[in-house]
Amino acid sequence: MPPIKISATEKTEKGTFKKSMAKLIRYCKHEWLWFALSILLGAVAVVFQIIGPNKIQDITTKISVAIKFGLPMDIDGITQIALFLVGIYAASVLLSYMQNFITATVTQRVSKNLRLDISKKTNRLPLNYFDTHLHGDVLSRVTNDVDTIGQSLNESVGTLFSSILLFVGVLIMMFVTEWIMALTVIATTILGFGFSVVFMAKSQKYFNQNQKHLAEVNAHIEETYSGHNVVQLFNAKQQTGKEFDSINKKLFNSGWKSQFISGVMQPLMGFVGNFGYVAVCIVGAVLASKRGIEYIGVISAFMIYVRLFSNPLAQIAQCLTRLQSASAASKRVFEYLEAEELPDESDKTLVLGNVKGDVDFQNVVFGYNPNKIIIKDFSASIKAGQKVAIVGPTGAGKTTLVNLLMRFYEVNSGDIKIDGVSVKDIKRENVHALFGMVLQDTWLFEGTIKENLKYNNPAVTDQQVVDACKKVGIDHFIQTLSHGYDTVIDDACNLSAGQKQLLTIARTMIADNPMMILDEATSSVDTRTEVLLQQAMDKVMEGRTSFIIAHRLSTIKNADLILVLKDGDIVEKGNHQELLEKGGFYADLYNSQFEE
């Protein structure tokens, strides 16, 4: 197998941030109308939010003027303004909710499509991709990464645009109302933010440290818990305990610091607000003493502007951090979606239906990595109905041959022909349909036994299922289960490895492919179960060209042809008896299980 690539810890630099975001935006292209509508709704809501303080200011001015000059309260005027405000507030709630509703709908739809595309992509990727990437890696792209994208978009798209609009809107309104006060607010806010930015930059290292230490602690825990027996029996508890204490201590030190810093951010923002507030009051008072009583209204409006102005800035900063994680996640998702696919084969029209089962390997050369050839010039001619066993030490290329036969991988040079037709000339699906496979890993999915056996073959009747199970000798066992053939196979279901393997053999029998591949089908069961499996498999192989790969040599003694593979070459071929008499590599391998 080719080596697994473990992706290096990703860091989002500025370039990749832009690139990944651009990809994400392009992906959401056909949702642009909804995004535009959502932004528009947000914009209108912002306008209302800005009008609010102005109108409130009118009420306070009316009240204070009335009291100051002993005039009767202008109740009608105030009621009118208040009713107007009620309308505005109601409209603004409605609009923001509509905006949220649309954003939620669109982001969920985008997430759903991303997941679906990933799943579909899985079917179009060459097998090489999955042999070289960890399953967990693909899994976390489907769930974690897509979730991150969905959540970040949901929380930031609407807010980001509204915040920017609000920021600009308040800025304009402030200058329209009174420029000196506007400058006061801007100056205090910039001062406060400048301070926080410096503070955050200084503290970033604690966050990084904390992440690192957390990962170290987790790695240590995972390792010692998984090797618990060994740690205990080698009296290594003190040793591992000491290691743990030292990283736990490190985590504590960086942990409380980073927590402290992130906790202080909010009060700091609050202080910036209060600071601006005081500044507004003082500057306002100075101006009011010069300009008279009407100026009071301006002050009360600015008291609100100060809050409105510092909020969006904090929100924009928050959105950017969110989008940063969205970009990291979308980088991983698009990496997967853009991985090179299997070549398109829709132009191949040749179809191999009922084959006899002659298989020819002609000068096959192959390596997972072009620099490291695993199969060197492999040729063999197999006649229809023959049982062919492939043996050899680990790493000799046995499973690789199967990969090539099934076209899971493509040969570097040479050819494989079935009934004289090159497998390259027919579609992959066609090749797959020619072979039934039983593998070492007994793969069953969560579903009833019947569903598992009929797998992807709705035309199969229940009777056929029962017949197949009778043939492999598992019918009786299935009948004893509480729901018989409708028993659901899941984690809680206690099927032994042998029973599972019998089910996969029955599945293969039902699929009724013209040829068979058995790749280490009995390696994971004990030798007594193996006998049962062997009998079942013999039934499946009857009259079919079959390829058997086995670790235990006892299982292949009755093969028509044994190919002994070593370092990618056939070193010997013949049947069991011939090879033993020859006294070569096979005999050596075979006898080593008994010699002492």
Q: Does 12 bind another protein (CB under 8 A)?
A: no
Q: Least distance to another protein from the beta carbon of 417, Å?
A: 19
Q: Least distance to another protein from the beta carbon of 164, Å?
A: 17
**Is residue 521 a contact partner of residue 439, using CB atoms and an 8 Å limit?**
yes
Residue type (1 letter), 427: K
Tell me how many residues contact another protein (CB under 8 A): 145
Residue 565: count other Cβ atoms within 10 Å of its Cβ. 24
Q: Which helix (H) or strand (E) holds 259?
A: helix 237-291
Q: Rounded to a whole number, what is the distance in angstroms from the first to the last CA of the chain?
A: 32
Distance separating alpha carbons of residues 265 and 200, to the nearest angstrom: 8
Q: Does 241 bind another protein (CB under 8 A)?
A: yes
Residues 196-215 that bind another protein (CB under 8 A): 214
Two structure tokens written together for 452: 């598992």
Print the binding letters for residues 58-97 with another protein: x by CB under 8 A, - otherwise: -xx-xxx--xx----x-x--xx--x--xx--xx-xx--xx
- Looking at beta carbons only, is 435 or 485 nearer to another protein? 435
What strands, in cross-sheet order, belong to the sheet with 413-418?
A: 375-382, 359-366, 413-418, 421-422
Distance separating alpha carbons of residues 329 and 143, to the nearest angstrom: 11
**Is residue 514 a contact partner of residue 357, using CB atoms and an 8 Å limit?**
yes
Note the residue count of the chain.
596
Q: Least distance to another protein from the beta carbon of 469, Å?
A: 18
Q: Which stretch in 54-62, 176-184, 346-354, 562-570 sits in contact with another protein by CB under 8 A?
A: 54-62
Q: Which stretch in 114-122, 349-357, 368-376, 535-543 sits in contact with another protein by CB under 8 A?
A: 114-122
Two structure tokens written together for 182: 């506007």
Q: Does 246 bind another protein (CB under 8 A)?
A: no
Residues 478-507 that bind another protein (CB under 8 A): 496-498, 504
Residues 288-307 that bind another protein (CB under 8 A): 288-289, 292-293, 296, 299-300
Q: Least distance to another protein from the beta carbon of 16, Å?
A: 26
Q: Least distance to another protein from the beta carbon of 434, Å?
A: 10
In the chain, how many H helices and how many E strands? 19, 12
Residue 227: count other Cβ atoms within 10 Å of its Cβ. 13
Q: Least distance to another protein from the beta carbon of 363, Å?
A: 25
Residues 320-359 that bind another protein (CB under 8 A): none
Classify residue 512 as left (phi > 0), alpha (psi -120 to 50) or beta: left
Residues 409-448 that bind another protein (CB under 8 A): 428-429, 432-433, 435-437, 439, 441, 443, 445-446
Q: Does 271 bind another protein (CB under 8 A)?
A: yes
Residues 507-546 that bind another protein (CB under 8 A): 511, 525-531
Q: Which of 202, 348, 539, 552 binds another protein (CB under 8 A)?
A: 552
Distance separating alpha carbons of residues 465 and 442, to the nearest angstrom: 18
Two structure tokens written together for 200: 């955050």
- Looking at beta carbons only, is 247 or 377 nearer to another protein? 247
3-state helix, strand, coil in the chain (%, to 5): 65, 10, 25
Q: Does 156 bind another protein (CB under 8 A)?
A: no
- Looking at beta carbons only, is 300 or 400 nearer to another protein? 300
